[in-house]
Structures are given as C-alpha cells and as structure tokens.
Amino acid sequence: MSMEVGELKGINQDLETLKHSLPQDPSLHASLDQLMSRVHHLTEVAKFSPSRREKVKDMSAEVVDSNPYSRLMALQRMGIVDNYEKIRGYSVAIVGIGGVGSVAAEMLTRCGIGRLLLYDYDKVELANMNRLFFRPEQVGMTKTDAAVQTLSDINPDVVLESYTLNIATVQGFETFMSSLKDKSFRPNKDGIGVDLVLSCVDNYEARMVVNQACNELNQTWMESGVSEDAVSGHIQLLIPGETACFACAPPLVVASGVDERTLKREGVCAASLPTTMGVVAGLLVQSTLKFLLKFGHVSPYLGYNSLKDYFPTMEMRPNPQCSNAACLERQKEYQLAQPARDAAAAAAKAKLEAEALSVDECPLHADNEWNISVVDDIELSTMDASSSDELPEGLARELPTADAHQNLSVARSADTSVEDLDDLRKQLEALNAD
C-alpha cells in the first residue's frame, strides 16, 4: 500500500469522526458525505498508483518472469561477459542529463549499475519533450531530481546521487571534484571514487571542464556529442596520458558550420532528434558496458553519420604541446610506464606463440577438404592496423579551423603520422556540404 493510500484513509477516518460530532443539520451532513465520497474515490485511484519493487540482494540468473536481471545474467551463459554481477560494484558519473545523458542514465539503471552520480543545473521544459526520458508532468523540476524520481522507480537497487549544479562555476567545480573523489561506496577501490565519467553536455566550455577534472584526477572518461543539425554524433574514449585529451586536439564535435556562441546569442534553436540522441546514448552505454565488464573492443573514437549510415572510427594520440598542464603530466607518467607495458606485452605474445605452436603440432582440422584457413582475432587486428593508411570512403576528421593546433599529433593508428590539417578541414567541409 502506498503512502498516499494510507494518508487518504486517515483523512476519511477524520471526516467520519467530524460527522459524528456535527449538529444534526441535513445540509452539513450532505456536503460532508460528498467530501467523503470524493476522498473514497481518490483512495481507489491511488491504489493503482505505481508501487516500487523490492530491492534485490543478489543478482540471480534464475529464468523467471519476476527476476529483473535474468536477461542480463544470460550474457554470462552466452559467453559474452565473465561476471555480469560485477556491474553492481561500479560507479558512473554522468555530466549533463539532457537528451543523451538522461537516456544513458536510464540504460545504466536498467542494466543494474551500482551507483550513478548525476550532474545538471537545468530544469525540465516542454521544449525537451521531442526527446526521450522526461515527461510533461516533470516540467519545472530540476533535471537531476526528475531523473532520480524516474530512475529510482525503474530500479531501486541503483544508488543515485543527484548534483544540481553547474560544473563550470568555481563552487560547482569544487563539489564536482570532491564528489568524484568520494570513495565511501567502495572504500578499497583503486583510484578515485568513480570508475568512469560520461560527458553528455552540449557545449565546449563544459567539455573543457570535464577534461580538466579528469586530467587532474587521472580518470578515464567518455565524451559524447550530437550535431546541432541533429543528424550526426560521436563518442570518444579519453584516457589521460594515453589518448588525446579534449585540449590536445581541436574538438571532435561534429561540426555543422555554426558557431555555438552565435547560436546562443541570437537565440537560434539547435535541432534535436530523439533518434540520433538515442543512437548516441546507446553507443555510449554499449562502450561503457564493454569498458567496465571487459568484453569486446572499445573504439577510441566512433562517429555516427545518419545521412550516410556511416560509423567512422579512429585513434588519436596525445599532443606533446597540449595547453593543459595536467595532460602533460599524465603523458609523462604514461611514457615512464612504457617499459613495464612492453614487458607485459612481450610476455603475453610469447605465451600466445607457445600456444600457437602447440596448436600447429596438433591441427584441429587435419583433413580440411575445403581449404578453410582459420585466422585468429589477434592476426585480424594487426591486419586492420597495417591496412588503414587510407581513410575509408566518407570519413573525415571533424576538425574546425584551429591555427593554434599546427603541431597536432593526430593519428588514426599508432603507426600513422600527422596529417595535413588543411587537408582534413577540406574533407570535413566536403562531408558537410552534401
């Protein structure tokens, strides 16, 4: 029984008591009866209002209709994930609870993530209703409060923390940093208190703030963006010191040729589609799951061009002349740890070769009449890297004019060298032109 039903029943009892203490005036009794019948009606309605499910102690793989996790735990049985329940130990911070962030939060909630930290300063508006997640009756609520309301109903197992603040202010940034560092959810965890930060903001300044925080904290994060013309988007994995940070390279926001500040100043409205935002949120959370639960490959950069149904990927190395001091520190640390990584890679390679030798000695299909040759995943990925000299058809680096980034070290694979920025810009303009 919900709280509302109990309260309404209490009101009806009070009215009953009042009725007995009233003088015998028929008109008074008639209006009181009317009032009681209305309360009774509301009580009946309230009985059908949503009630939360009980929390679940352990994730069960039992296949019954009442198990909220049976389909997720089946990922283990299918051999995709080693230990799905590990997800309950992970904390993910989502900055920006808009068209992408809110949907990403819902997906992670439904997947049973351990803890979500939600950051936004905005309120829900009717103009947001072309997107998913928020509902008209939530108009006027802060996006963080509305999100907590919906998400806690969907999955009460998820620990939700709502931060109604602007990370681009001094006070907001301080709270942002201390909340990321807080390790009370999992005290013996390595690093800071979160496992991943997802940037789902809609402007350059906020992205630079997330970049600053994650560089300082040496925290891996993922960036996402949807173009102002609503038809393309991207996600990007940023590992401080190892991949380009947001200040290393000109922003990889899908450019539409319209300056963001011009948009704000002239009150011009950027377009948005629930489809593109849903796709980008899906890609972002898919990468999050792969990153946290260690399955599949997480692309360092994945674009989405809906007009061409095209998904370009690429890699970006950090810029040794990056303007962000914390980025340079992380780069130094990463280089210092190179010998250790080389040794680990050599050991892994030797182990694989030893395994391959023993397979050669005892071939699996000795009488292979179809001449089918089996190529393992490792060989395939090496082939991919060496054959990526040319950008695939339709792929352009989405780099806007950036005179300050002439020394940029952008490479699509670890072995490819710097491309001419002007050339890249031309390719981008060509992509946007049609």
Binding site for Zn ion (CB under 5 A): 245, 247-248, 322, 324, 327
Q: How far is the CB of 71 from Zn ion (least distance, A)?
A: 40
CB contact at 8 A, 303 and 311: yes
Q: How far is the CB of 249 from Zn ion (least distance, A)?
A: 8
Which member of 111, 214, 248, 269 is catalytic? 269
Q: Give the ranges where 114-169 is alpha helix by DSSP (H).
A: 143-154
State which residue, 382 or 407, has the beta carbon closest to Zn ion.
Answer: 407
Residues 6+ apart with CB under 8 A from 145: 162, 164
Q: How far is the CB of 419 from Zn ion (least distance, A)?
A: 18
SS3 53: coil
Looking at the DSSP assignment, which residues form a beta bridge with residue 91?
A: 115
CB contact at 8 A, 249 and 405: yes
CB contact at 8 A, 196 and 223: no
Distances from the Cα of 245 to the Cα of 48, 193, 238, 259, angstroms: 50, 21, 6, 21
Q: How far is the CB of 408 from Zn ion (least distance, A)?
A: 10
Two structure tokens written together for 150: 């919906």
Concerning whether 269 is annotated as a catalytic residue, the answer is: yes
State which residue, 247 or 254, has the beta carbon closest to Zn ion.
Answer: 247
Is the dihedral angle over the CA atoms 418, 210, 304, 109 positive or is it negative?
positive
Q: If we measure between CA atoms, which residue out of 386, 396, 247 comes closest to residue 318?
A: 247
Is the dihedral angle over the CA atoms 261, 266, 267, 269 positive or is it negative?
negative
SS3 78: coil
State which residue, 198 or 245, has the beta carbon closest to Zn ion.
Answer: 245
State which residue, 180 or 327, has the beta carbon closest to Zn ion.
Answer: 327
Q: How far is the CB of 284 from Zn ion (least distance, A)?
A: 21
Return the percent helix, strand and coil in the chain, to nearest 5: 45, 10, 45
Cα separation of 46 and 291, whole Å?
43
State which residue, 111 or 238, has the beta carbon closest to Zn ion.
Answer: 238
Cα separation of 217 and 210, whole Å?
10
Cα separation of 414 and 317, whole Å?
8
Q: How far is the CB of 328 from Zn ion (least distance, A)?
A: 7
How many CA atoms does the CB half-sphere of 158 hold within 13 Å? 32
State which residue, 227 or 324, has the beta carbon closest to Zn ion.
Answer: 324
CB contact at 8 A, 146 and 123: no
Cα separation of 48 and 46, whole Å?
5
State which residue, 34 or 406, has the beta carbon closest to Zn ion.
Answer: 406
Q: How far is the CB of 215 from Zn ion (least distance, A)?
A: 7
Is the dihedral angle over the CA atoms 256, 97, 153, 48 positive or is it negative?
negative
Looking at the DSSP assignment, which residues form a beta bridge with residue 198?
A: 94, 222
CA dihedral in degrees (134, 138, 144, 145; nearest 10)? Answer: -140
Distances from the Cα of 169 to the Cα of 206, 209, 332, angstroms: 10, 10, 29
State which residue, 112 or 240, has the beta carbon closest to Zn ion.
Answer: 240
Q: Which residues are catalytic?
A: 269
